[in-house]
Chains A and B, each alone.
Chain A
């Protein structure tokens, strides 16, 4: 059997005639994680240039927000990053609360944190499954989806829906946790830890996986900051930046957790950061369950119409994909005057041209997968 060449990044022979070919990838390609289209100019197996096309999932969410009342906008935020619904609801609710100067009941804050961290694990498990598929591994997908399914059935018991929850409210949450929640979560957590460990064990240090991901899609810390990277993509470059620590919102300052960082900023580092983050989220959930007080969870506003005072506010939070920001302008009516979302996926995706140029076609799928984009958020 012929030796597999290891120096795949070497330049093509000098005397070879460069022939450029146009390769259209997407929007219906299964590895673009949604309806994302890339036009690749390729020279043999090498990518010369990339032109990303977005907007296939554009629903005009920001404009729609201007026509909806404040309590109805939560349903639109569910559909932005449709893998991490609770995290999206949280940042919007916090923006309005900040504008109104509203106090959230203590228990509601804990419920929110527990659900958000569970959602972060669910999102990262989905990522682990899809990066496995992108790198050619089928088994981790099955394991990861099993874990995600368990989280989602708990979500269903709590909020009534597996994905589009509409459970957080401005100033609180919709209703208290179900009576059997303690039993549900006590059953879930050991199984979940097992699932996370299993997907970690089968994939992270697998030789084939390492070969596919190590030193692929490398980006330096300076460049990552210039592109506006946040979240695991930035931490993969070795920068210890997490909104939960840098500017603690909600009650994140009460928990003891670490920020995992990578070294080189390649695909594997981004993967490793996400896997470690799942363990950290489990730590936060355990602490939150211990500290959780009793009491009221419903907003002090009751069912009154929400009319924040005129003014503007910017609120940011740590999504599984990075820093999500909400810029909300109110003119004192019952509907937002303008609402701008800073989506982490969109900013992370902006580096796709820099990452893909001069890489191999076979690596393009892995690089895109390691950015972990959600098109609902990119296009809005």
Chain B
């Protein structure tokens, strides 16, 4: 009996010691923010400069997908024939079965054209069994939403900018060292 009381006192003391603001959120009413790197469902990006998807339908993501949740096909790019685009081929048909997708992000990693991103979309329940088979227009829509919300810059462009900046600083340092050496020599 005494032992039980002692145990309860311990719980009670700990409860009062731990009196602080609640950390729970009323989730469906108040949406929880996601981190910048959050991996939601994959979506396709839109090249705003040309006005066409980045995707060429090259199938590299499809071959690398662990669950085979995607399918695609490519076609000749009409905009390239008109001279507006540098892409010879463009995606014709693309479908992702989001029920199969395990959100691993491998497709984004292997893509050579910055064409696919892991969007922040994650609440996509439907009533139909095949309701989450998302086709090209819807995928592009999700992708554009993601691009707008995060001010998306293609990773290859970012990497190139970073490399250029590094090269520039390196060149500047070298030049500085050379002048210093020249000054030393002159002395």
Return the CB mask of A53-70 against B: 1 if under 8 Å, else 0.
Answer: 000000000000000110
Q: In the assembly, what is the distance between CA of A160 and CA of B7, in Å?
A: 41
Q: In the assembly, what is the distance between CA of A110 and CA of B106, in Å?
A: 23
Q: In the assembly, what is the distance between CA of A1 and CA of B42, in Å?
A: 64
Which residues of the other chain, A, contact B6 by a CB distance below 8 angstroms?
Answer: 207
Total cross-chain contacts (CB, 8 A): 74
Q: In the assembly, what is the distance between CA of A223 and CA of B110, in Å?
A: 50
Q: Are A198 and B18 in contact (CB under 8 A)?
A: yes
- In the complex, whether A202 has a CB less than 8 A from a CB of chain B is yes
Q: Are B66 and A75 in contact (CB under 8 A)?
A: yes
Q: State how many angstroms separate the Cβ of A269 from the closest Cβ of chain B.
A: 19
Which residues of the other chain, A, contact B38 by a CB distance below 8 angstroms?
Answer: 156, 160-161
Q: In the assembly, what is the distance between CA of A178 and CA of B11, in Å?
A: 39
A149-B23, A174-B109 known; A208+B18 contact, CB < 8 A: no
Size of the chain B interface, CB-CB below 8 angstroms: 29
Q: Are B66 and A72 in contact (CB under 8 A)?
A: yes
Q: Are B3 and A303 in contact (CB under 8 A)?
A: no
Q: Are A166 and B106 in contact (CB under 8 A)?
A: yes
Q: From the candidates B17, B37, B66, name the one contacting A160 in the complex (CB within 8 A).
A: B37
Which residues of the other chain, B, contact A161 by a CB distance below 8 angstroms?
Answer: 38-39, 103
Q: Are B14 and A75 in contact (CB under 8 A)?
A: no
Which residues of the other chain, A, contact B64 by a CB distance below 8 angstroms?
Answer: 69, 71-72
Q: Are B37 and A159 in contact (CB under 8 A)?
A: yes
Q: Are A202 and B66 in contact (CB under 8 A)?
A: no
- In the complex, whether A209 has a CB less than 8 A from a CB of chain B is yes
Q: Are A198 and B3 in contact (CB under 8 A)?
A: no
Chain A, Cβ-Cβ closest to B5: A207
Which has the most chain B C-beta neighbours within 10 Å: A159, A161, A164? A161
Q: In the assembly, what is the distance between CA of A71 and CA of B106, in Å?
A: 9
| 16 pairs, A vs B, C-beta closer than 8 Å | A4-B1, A72-B64, A72-B66, A137-B11, A157-B37, A159-B37, A160-B118, A161-B103, A164-B104, A166-B105, A198-B14, A198-B18, A201-B10, A202-B11, A208-B8, A211-B3
Q: Which 6 A-B pairs have the closest CB atoms?
A: A160-B39, A208-B7, A207-B3, A72-B66, A160-B37, A207-B7
